Every structure is written in C-alpha cells, then in structure tokens.
Structure 1
Amino acid sequence: MVRSRWQRRIFIALLPFVAACGSSVRTQSLSVRPTTAGPVHATTAQQLPSPAIAQPAPVEDPVLTLIATSDGHFKAGQKELEQGHFEAAKQEFNRAVDVLLESPYGARTEPRIREHFDRLVDRISTYEVKALATGDGFAEKKYEPASIDELLALSTMFGTPPAPAELKNTVATDLLGAKHDIPIPLNQRVLSYIDLFQGRLHDFIEEGMKRGSKYLPMIQNVFRAEGLPLDLAYVPLVESAFKPNALSRVKAKGVWQFMAGTAAENGLRRDWYIDERSDPEKATVAAAKYLRTLSKLFKGDWHLALASYNGGPGRLQRAMNKQRIDDFWKLADKPKALPRETREYVPMILAAIVIARNPAQYGFDFEADAPHNYDKVTLPRPVDLRRVAEWTDRNIDEIQALNPELRRWTTPVKDTEYELKVPPGTGDVVLAKLADAPAVDLGSLKFYTVKRGDTLPLIARKMHVSKADLAEANDLRVSARVSAGQKLIVPHEPTVLMAARTDRPAPATEARATVSGSGQLAQAAANSNRVKSIYEVKRGDTLASVALRFKTSVASIKTWNPRIPGNRLTAGQRLTVYRLAN
C-alpha cells in the first residue's frame, strides 16, 4: 500500500521529464527523416523551426558596482602615491570613501559595503603609516655605488691580461689621428684596460658614456674657460660613471667623487640639507679648481696629478720623496710605494679617455642623451619637493634628478633665496602655486620649543630622533647648549599625509609648534580646532568606525590611545578622542 502510493508519486514527478525527453526524441526523428517521405512533412519541418529561447539580460548588482567604483579610486590613489603625489593620492583616497558614504546604502548598512569600507580605511591607514616612515621629507635619499669601486673589483676578478698585439697597432693609429692634450703612453697597463673596457666591461663603459653625454658639453665649457685639458672631462667615466648620486666605500660622493674635506676646501657646501658634491655643475667648477691646484703642485705632470686626485697629494709626495722618483710609471712598478687603487687608477683613466674620444673605433655605439634643460625658481621659504612634483605634474624622481644636491625631500629650512631647478616650461606655474599656497602647506616641518633644563640629548630622546640629526638639522654642534624658549626643527614628520575622510586637522598640523612628553600629538591636537572627549566603545564598534564618527584616522585614534591592545575594541572600553569643536 505504502509502496504503491510512493510509486505513484514518483511516477507523477517524473512525467514532465519523460514528456520532455519524448518531445526531444520526436523532434530529432523529424529532423532526420528523408525528404522523400512526403512534401508535407518536409515543408512543416522547414517552416516551423524550434523557437529560440531569449536569454534574460544580466541584472547589474548596484552594490558590486559601487564597490568597484570605490576600488578604482583607491587604485588611482596608489598610483599617485607611487609617483610621490601625496595631495593627489589623498584626493583619490577621499573619493574612494566618499563614494560609499554618499551612496543610498551608506557605509554601514549593507554587509558587503561595510566589509569593503572597513578594509578600505585600514589599507589607507597602512599607506599613511608607510608614508610617515619613509617619505617624511627628512629621510636622506638613497645613493648608488661609485663605479671606481666596481671597476677595481672587476679588474681584480678578471685580471688585466696582456692585450693582443693588433690592439696596440689600432690604438697607435688612433692616437696619430686624435690630438690628446694629456700624454697617452702605449704601455701594457693602458692597453690592458682598453682591452678590458671594450671586451668584458663593454656594456658598463657604454652605459657610462651614454649617461655622461648630457654632462660633457657643460664640463668641457668649464674646463675650456679654466684652460684645463679637455681630456680630463672623461675622468668621471671611471670615478662615478657620471652618476650624481654615486657614493664610494670611503664616502666620496658625486660625479667627481669628492671627499668631504676636499669638497669644502674647493667651495662646495655640505650640510644636513644640501651636499653640493652631488650637483654636477657646482662639482665640476670645484673639480676644475682642484685639478688646476694639483697641476701646479706637480709641475704640469698630469699623470702625477691624476694619481694625487685619487690617492691624495700628501701620500703621493711622501712616496716620491721616499723612493726619490718623480715619474708615476716608475712608482707604479713598486707595489709598496703606492696603494693598488692608485696604481690602477691612472691607466684606467687614460684607457677611458682613449675610448671616449673615439667610441666607434672600439666597438661602442650609442645615442647621446640631450643636455639637462630646466627652469630655475627662487624659493623664499622651504618647500617639500612632493608639492613641486604635483604642481608640475611630474614624478618626484624627476624633481630630485634635477636637484641631486638636495639630501632630503625638502629644500633648506633657513634658506630664503634657494634656487630650485624645475622642468622646462614650469617655472611660472611653480611661482604661481607658491604665491597662492599657505606657508603651512609648503614644508613638512615640526618645531620644538626648548623648556628649562632641556639639553639636546634629552630633546632627542623625547622626540625619538638621533642627537646628531637634531643638531645638524638646526646647524648646531652636538655638544651645543640650548636655552629656554629657543625653537628647534625636529627632523621627523608629525602629521598624517593622506587619510581618506581621516585627514582632518587632527592630530597636529604641519609647521605648528609641538610640546614635549608622551602623548605630544594628542596634546597638540587640543590646541587646534578640536576638543578632548572620552568615548565609550559600543558593541560592534571598530577603530575604523570610531575614526569615521569623529572625522579622524585610525592612526590618530591609536596615537591618542597608545595602550589599545592590537586592533580590537571591547564594549565599555573608554577612548580618548579629539572631536571637532563645531
């Protein structure tokens, strides 16, 4: 009985499928019948095709569309940030959040939007923290290894085997046609480096010559005006491969690889903000002055002058006096007379001169780079280079490349007539932006007012910076005394640069004096247009939702409440916040 009832139910449930299958079978049998079976059937099959089933148009999910739009703005902000455009990044991050807040759903009602919103604010806060850590305007830029170190290491690795006989003939023929203003001896040392440069180090040398082609006209003009041999213009090919930011293992820097003491003796400025050793033009003028001095010291012998440029005139004079030899090549034959680097340096320079004067003869082929073009603007006060990058719609790297003497992302704080190089055609734009921008927006500065009993080491500990940086940023000796009321620049960025919907005036604004002690940012916020409040955490609250409620950032909430355990909040927990006064 039960079985028969279930059988009937199963049979009834299967009827539609059986009918469908049967319909399918009949349709197939009609389609394969021979047309000779009767004209009526054939005509029917042709005139009554199976009706096409219309596919419904996909329904667009407005929530997913909204999230995609928000994510698009966030990714645009990421790209701006990669180029150092902090203001543009901040605007895109703001749009990413505004899209959600201004939607009919709000940011908290729809679960998917709420999840995206919380993740979005956390990601922006992460970028915020990274920007403060690495792009505060006071972190010193990175430098590249100097080529002299690399060349010496490579020559040690590969050695300088005897050059083939045919190379000597090639060089001899070349020297007959090219008039050099420095003697080029055809000895085995020089020929071996010519062979090495056009062989294993071909790409290295070619890259250096290509880079140097944009500086050569300027260098030759300076040397011509000073009456120096133009062959000396190729010294940087070995020294730095013409890299303005080259830094050697012994801390020589720039295209001409000046040591700090030698640079100062020849008129180059070096302080916490600027190192003119990295300015190709100013360093070239200093190099001309120094080379002329060495030429006079060694009575016009350029081989000795070049050796002293590398090893120092004092060391070379001591070696000459000790060995009673005034010929570089004879000194170089005595391994203990001169350091290995100096013995190898002069033949390296001469080999580079031979190749650079006639690159095609030695298998080099490259297109010369155009000389640097730029406008100059005079800045009456310090400016963050990231502002200039945005004003000129350029990458921050391009602005730094035009001003390699700047060690930081900001121009010198105390300079009131600093000349900044900007891309050609943008000088007027920068001047116009400079006139319109409030001073607070131009530099990322933080000041500390000295209290009674303060010392530099004590202030450095309070502000979490090194004693040396604090002293140098203020043009003071490390042992200098400070007096109450004195204002010091603190080489550290105090503020949030870009939080979406969270970059409101809290905690502290740039270029505003701060106070010392724990919770300094929170106290500084109290001096702005915010007032201190205590907020009791409700069930479901997150750091992001509290930050949104008070129009601030997650980073600020954490700063005001340093004892928050991780990123979790618990109901009933009391938070210090600074809400807008209005």
Structure 2
Amino acid sequence: MLRPCSFPIALLCCTTVLAGCATGSGAKAAKVIPQPPTAVLPPAPAAPALPDPAVALMAESDQHFTTGQQELTLGHLERARSEFNRSLDLLLESPDGARADARRREHFDRLVDRISVLEQGALAKGDGFTETRTEPASIDALLAIETFDTAKPALATAERVEADLETTTHDIPIPTNDRVLRYVELFQGRLREFLTDGLSRGTQYLPMIQETFRAEGLPLDLAYIPLIESAFKPSALSRAQARGVWQFMRGTALENGLKADWYLDERADVEKATQAAAKYLKTLHRMFEDWHLAMASYNGGPGRVKRALTRSQKNDFWQLSATTRYLPRETRDYVPMILAAVIIAKNPAQYGFDIAPMVLPVTESVTAPPALDLRRVAEWAGVPVDEIQKLNPEFRRWTTPVKTGAYSIRVPQGTADRVREGLASAAPGQLNAMQWHTVKQGETIAAIAKKLRVNRTDLAEANYLKVNSRIKVGTRLIIPRMPSSALLARASSADLENAAAATVAEILAETTALPEPAPARIYRVRAGDTLSAISRKTGASVAQLKSWNKMRGTRLNVGDRLIVQPPTAKNANQ
C-alpha cells in the first residue's frame, strides 16, 4: 500500500525528501549532475588615456637641457649650446608655440632662466682668456718648516744613512751631518705623505729628466731637485711667482731660452723647462765650481751667494751656512733638504717608503693655428677640457696665442685624427670668438680698459704691449673678454656665426701685427759700474733698472746680471 510523503522540513531540503519518496515508491532515482560555478569576468580595462602632448614636449625639452648641462660640465661649449638651443626650439617650433598655456609658458621661462644662469657661470669659470688653474708650490711650505737645529738626529738614522751611502751610487757629495740627517728624519715622519706623493708623481718625468742630464753631462742626483721645488707638479706656482716643476722665475726662464708671456708659459712644459734647467745648472756650476754652492744659488740667486762668499771669505757652503750672518734661513735649509730627499729617493724601500709609480699619459701632437679655443679641441677629441689642460699646462689661457705661428697641442692617443678633422672642417668663426677695439684719437691703454671694463694689465699683455705703451690711432687691440652671446645664448646665433667668422678670419689674417717678443737684454756688472753709469750705457733710467731688477738700494756686485731691457714686442710703440 502506498503511503503519501510528508514534508516535515523546509523547502531547502525538498530535493532530498522527494528523492526519498521516489525511492519509497519504487521509482528510479534521478542522477544529479553538479554544475561548475559561473566564472566572474573582470571589468573590461579602461581605454588608455591619450598622452598629453604638452607634457611629452616638455619632457623632451628637459632631456636636451640635461644633455646640455653634461656637455657644459665637460667644457664642450658648442655641443652644450646646441643642446640648449634644441631644448628651446622644441617649444618655440611647436604648433601652439612656447606660450600656448600656463604650464608651457612657465616651463619655457624657467628654462630660459636656467640657461642664462649656466651661461654666466661658464663665463665666470673661463671665457677663453681666464688664466688656467695653478697649484701652490711645495717649496714655500717646506722652507717655512723649522727643523730645530738643537735637536740631535737619532743614532739609528745616522747608521742607516751611512750604510746606504756605502752601497748606493751618488754623483754629488752627500755629507752625513746633522742638518742632512734631520731632514731624513723629517721626511720619514710628518713629511712622509708629501715625499711619497712627490716620488710617485716623479716617476712620470724622471726618465726624461735623467736622460736630458746624462746628455748634458750633469749629475743625475740633480734630477730630484723638482721633488722639493714642486713635488713634480707642472702647474705649481710659488708665492714669488716661480712656476713649473723647476720653479723658474720669469727672468731666469727667459735667460735660459723659455717663452713666458700672457698666453704661453713654457716654464710649465716639463720637457722644455728641463732643458732650460740643465743649461742653468751648468752655468751655476761654472760660476761656483761646487755643486752645493750651485744648488744654494739655484734657490737664493747667484748674486746673493756671491755676496755671501765675498763677505765671509769662505768658499764652502757648510761653513758659509753654519751662521745666520750670510745667507737667509731658506737658502741655508734648501741644500740639506735636497740632499736628504736624494738619499731617500735613490733607495726609498730602505727608509720604509712604498712608491706606487704613476704612468705618464700616452699622447699625440696636433699642430694648431693661433686663437684656437682649447675647449673646441676637447670637444673634437671627445674628452673633458680639464684633460686637455692637464696635457698642455704651458697654455695659460683657454686659447692658443693670437700671434702668427703654429702651436703644438698634446691630445690623448687615438684622438689626433678627430681633432685634425675638426680643424679642417671648422669655419673660422667656430675656432674662437673674440672682440676687437680700434684705437681712437687720444685713447690710452688705461682709458680703453676703463671704458671696456677689463683689467688694463690684461689688455696690454694680451696685445704684447706694456701698460704705459703709446698706441697709434687705428691700431686694433684684442679685448681679453669673450662676448657672452658667443657661448650659449640662442637669440642671434645665425648673426653671431657670421660676425664671429669675420672677426676670427681677421685674427688669422692680421696677427702679423703682433710679432715675436724681443728677449730681455742682460748686462753683467763690471768693476767700477754704478747704476748711473749703466743707465747712461743702456738708455734705461735708474728707476727702471731698480724696478726691473727688484732692487731696494743701489749697491752692485761685480758679476751681477741686470735686466736693462725687459722682453717686449719688437715693433711696440713705447
């Protein structure tokens, strides 16, 4: 008998109940197939927003500006100007212009301001006529050190030095007195770092110096004089204005065949200065016939040493310098300091020094014309301008001299062909940009300098003149200042190129008006000479003789060398 099904549970269970009823009734059970869950699709992505053309334009403009900054840091002025111009041109040449909306207008104005600031900074750093950087000469600091003569060197120092001298060959006499030994100890102590750095730097130049001295028949120990004079720094400049590794005063440099003017100073050319040093040292040795006295005169001057010998009636440096009466302390200390440096330099390991050699950069030479901006050379070579300056420390300015001639420039190996190609393809206006002034009636060097706001000494020397030189009406003078528009300003670049091309073409065509300076005339004092007598013989006034020779009084000594006509342009109007 069939029983009706009941529904004692909620509707949620009716499927189960019905299945039970069916079973109870004998009907076949239905198969339940589970259904997979319905997939939930993510929302469709929004259509990509179209890029803002103004933002993209400003970003591209900024990229050119950043590249220009990097080129300017390397001293590549033409490339910097090109990038800065491009950063502005992108905005100016856009369909809506540089001031289409507030954002673009603000970006453009800020960009112009930033470029202007960089331009002024570039001019302040170096306008082509600014003098290149120098370093303090070590000799000033070393000779200022007191060695306390009462301090007795350690016995161990004396024994070590004496043992070293027995096995190490020297070609100048080296005594082991207390004054030399004190400096050996000083170099091993608080001056250790100085000597280590100097010896490391000297490894670049010592082979060349020793080869030059060997050829001239000079003692090779003298090759270490620059260790004390300059720590082998070509750009070293002393408080007395001595320059280069050999620390030549300008007058002595000119006497020994070096050029030294407003543009070029061969005292900083290590090879040429070494040749001049060999010549000068041979002269001093012929004069004194003693290397210690020759070294003392290298520092204090031959006139001073001669006077000291005359007053003291002595002919030995150590006797002469044993008292404070005859020589200044700097000269008395100079010779033992050099000898102590030679002792250590010949055998540094013996004294606890570990010298890491420096390698001289391998270079090539390029012949350059007058008035060539060294920053263009750096740009063509693809190196920072600082590297070109380090390779050519004899150039005092960022330009080769403007007078007629060919100038050799050292560039890194592998770059000479690129520089030559740059020179060959560059228009005259791309070599440099200079300003000229044509002298008018009544104008003087001082008046022109004041009018143009430049230093009158620079104005005179840039034109191979003196400050008090008379200048003829119509004379064209180089103004030692580069026009600011020639560097980075965009506004009149086309006009600028035309003007610069004409200007520099005139430089190259007319620099024959700036002849080679005549060398200084030197007069050697004879018995019975007075300043008045020398003035009558040479035509120079007594005041000029005292000024040119930095004399306070009128006393002369036989054998003194006096400048009776300083170097000057042969055709300069005095």
Q: CA deviation at 1:455?
A: 2.5
Give 1:52 shift.
Answer: 7.6
**In the aligned structure 2, how far is the partner of 1:58 from the partner of 1:188?**
87
Shift of 1:130: 2.6
Tell me which moved more, 369-378 or 243-252. 369-378
Residues of 2 paired with 1:451 and 1:157: CA distance? Answer: 60
For 2:279 and 2:201, locate their aligned partners in 1 and report how far apart those are by CA, in whole Å: 24
Asked if 1:373 corresponds to 2:362, the answer is yes
Residues 139 and 229, structure 2, Cα contact 8 Å, conserved in 1: yes
**Any conservation in 1 of the 2:224–2:342 contact (CA below 8 Å)?**
yes
Q: 1:47 to 1:161 in 2, by over 3 A?
A: farther
1:348 aligned to 337, 340, 345, which one?
337
1:215-364 equivalences under 5 Å are 215-299=205-289, 301-364=290-353
Q: 1:225 and 1:47, CA in 2 relative to 1: closer, same or farther beyond 3 A?
A: farther
Post-superposition offset of 1:484:
2.4
Superposed displacement of residue 240, structure 1: 0.4
Aligned residue number for residue 452 of structure 2? 463
Task: Give the TM-score taking structure 1 as reference length.
Answer: 0.75
Distance 1:340 1:365 in 2: 31
Q: How does 1:127-166 map to 2 (within 5 A)?
A: 127-153=118-144, 155-156=145-146, 161-166=151-156
**Residues 488 and 177 (structure 1 numbering): CA distance in 2 closer, same or farther, change over 3 Å?**
same
Deviations 1:336-372 (A, max 9, x none): 2211111111111011111111122222223212234
Structure 1 residues 501, 253: CA separation in 2 closer, same or farther (over 3 Å shift)?
A: closer
CA 498–54 in structure 1, closer or farther in 2 if over 3 Å, else same:
farther
TM-superposition CA deviations, 1:156-203 (whole Å, max 9, x none): 399894332212222222211210111111111111111111221111
Deviation at 1:481, TM superposition (A): 2.0
Q: What per-residue deviation string (whole Å, max 9, x for no partner) do you get for residues 375-402 of structure 1?
A: 2222233211011000101111111111
Distance 1:81 1:159, change over 3 A: farther
SS, match of residue 156 in structure 1: coil
Corresponding residue number in structure 2 for 1:175: 165
Paired residue for 2:200, among 195, 210, 213?
Answer: 210
Query: Which amino acid letter does the alignment assign opposite residue 199 of structure 2?
Result: M
1:163 touches 1:195 (CA, 8 Å); kept in 2?
yes
Shift of 1:280: 0.7
Cα distance in 1, alignment partners of residues 490 and 465 from structure 2: 40
User: How does 1:472-511 map onto structure 2 within 5 Å?
Assistant: 472-499=461-488, 501-506=490-495, 509-510=499-500
2:392 matched to 1:403?
yes
Identity of aligned residues (%): 56
Q: Deviations over 1:206-228 (max 9, x none)?
A: 11111111111111111010010
Match of 2:77 in 1: 86
Alignment partners' CA distance in 2, 1:416 and 1:264: 19
> Which deviates the most, 374-383 or 76-85?
374-383
| C-alpha separation in 1, matches of 2:503 and 2:422 | 25
Kindly report which structure 2 residues correspond to 1:404-553, keeping only aligned pairs within 5 A, or say none: 404-499=393-488, 501-506=490-495, 509-510=499-500, 512=502
8 Å CA contact 1:241, 1:255 repeated in 2: yes
Partners of 1:281 and 1:292 in 2: how far apart? 17
Q: Shift in Å at residue 503 of structure 1?
A: 4.8
Asked if 2 retains the 8 angstrom alpha-carbon contact of 1:121 and 1:500, the reply is no
The alpha carbon displacement at 1:273 in A equals 0.8
In structure 2, do the counterparts of structure 1 residues 288 and 47 end up closer, same or farther at CA, with 3 Å as the change threshold? Answer: farther
Distance across 1 between alignment mates of 2:408 and 2:440: 35
Q: Secondary structure at the match of 1:496?
A: helix
Letter in 2 for 1:338: L
Shift of 1:331: 1.8
Displacement, 1:253?
0.9
- In structure 2, runs of 5+ residues without a counterpart are 1-33, 505-574
Partners in 2 of 1:167 and 1:49 — Cα distance?
93
What is the CA deviation profile of residues 107-146 of structure 1, one whole-angstrom value per residue up to 9, with x for unaligned ones? 2113222111101011111222232333211111221110
Q: Find the aligned partners of 1:417 and 1:458 in 2 and give their Cα distance.
A: 33
Asked whether the 8 Å contact 1:381–1:413 carries over to 2, the reply is yes
> Letter of the aligned partner of 1:321 in structure 2?
T
- Indicate the structure (1 or 2) with the bigger Cα radius of gyration: 2
Aligned with residue 376 of structure 2, among 368, 387, 401: 387
Maintained 8 Å contact 1:211/1:369: yes
Q: 1:123 aligns with which of 114, 118, 121?
A: 114
1:58 deviation in Å?
A: 8.6
Question: Is the deviation greater in 437-446 or in 231-240?
Answer: 437-446
The alpha carbon displacement at 1:497 in A equals 3.3
User: Residue 494 of structure 1 contacts residue 510 of structure 1 at CA under 8 Å; is this kept in 2?
Assistant: no
Q: 1:439 to 1:278 in 2, by over 3 A?
A: same
> Aligned partners of 1:254, 1:382: CA distance in 2, in Å?
24
Please provide the CA RMSD for this pair. 2.6
Q: Is the CA contact 2:119–2:484 (under 8 Å) kept in the aligned structure 1?
A: no
Q: 2:102 aligns with which of 102, 105, 111?
A: 111
Letter of the 1:98 counterpart: D
CA change 1:121–1:157 in 2 (3 A) is farther
CA contact (8 A) 1:240 1:246 kept: yes
Quick check: 2:367–2:406 contact (8 Å CA) kept in 1? yes
Deviations 1:421-474 (A, max 9, x none): 222222222222212211221123211122233322222222222222222111
Question: Which residue number corresponds to residue 95 of structure 1?
Answer: 86
CA contact (8 A) 2:132 2:396 kept: yes
Q: 1:66 to 1:334 in 2, by over 3 A?
A: same
User: Tell me, which stretches of 5 or more residues in structure 1 are unaligned?
Assistant: 1-43, 515-582
Q: Which residue of 1 aligns with 2:550?
A: none
Describe the shift of the 1:49–1:271 C-alpha distance in structure 2 as closer, same or farther (beyond 3 A).
same
Cα offset, 1:102, TM superposition = 4.1
Instruction: Tell me the secondary structure at the aligned position of residue 488 of structure 1.
Output: strand
CA contact (8 A) 2:130 2:397 kept: yes
Partners of 1:77 and 1:89 within 8 A in 2: yes
Describe the shift of the 1:459–1:175 C-alpha distance in structure 2 as closer, same or farther (beyond 3 A).
same
The amino acid across from 1:218 in the alignment is M
Q: Deviations over 1:509-531 (max 9, x none)?
A: 336569xxxxxxxxxxxxxxxxx
1:189 equivalenced with 2:179 (yes/no): yes
3-state DSSP class of the match of 2:169? coil
Give yes or no for contact 2:433–2:503 (8 Å, CA) kept in 1: no
Provide the rounded CA distance (Å) in 1 between the counterparts of 2:492 and 2:46. Answer: 46
Deviations 1:73-96 (A, max 9, x none): 212211211111101111221222
The residue identity in structure 2 corresponding to 1:456 is I
Please tell me the residue identity of whatever aligns with 1:206.
Answer: T
Q: Does the CA-based 8 Å contact 1:456-1:470 persist in structure 2?
A: yes
1:50–1:458 Cα change, 3 Å:
same
SS of the aligned residue for 2:58 comes to: helix
Q: Tell me: CA distance 1:148–1:55, structure 2 relative to 1, closer, same or farther (3 Å).
A: farther
Cα distance in structure 1, aligned partners of 2:186 and 2:482: 48
Distance 1:431 1:507 in 2: 24
Alpha-carbon offset, residue 61 of structure 1: 5.2
Cα distance change, pair 466–57 in 1 and its aligned pair in 2 (3 A): same
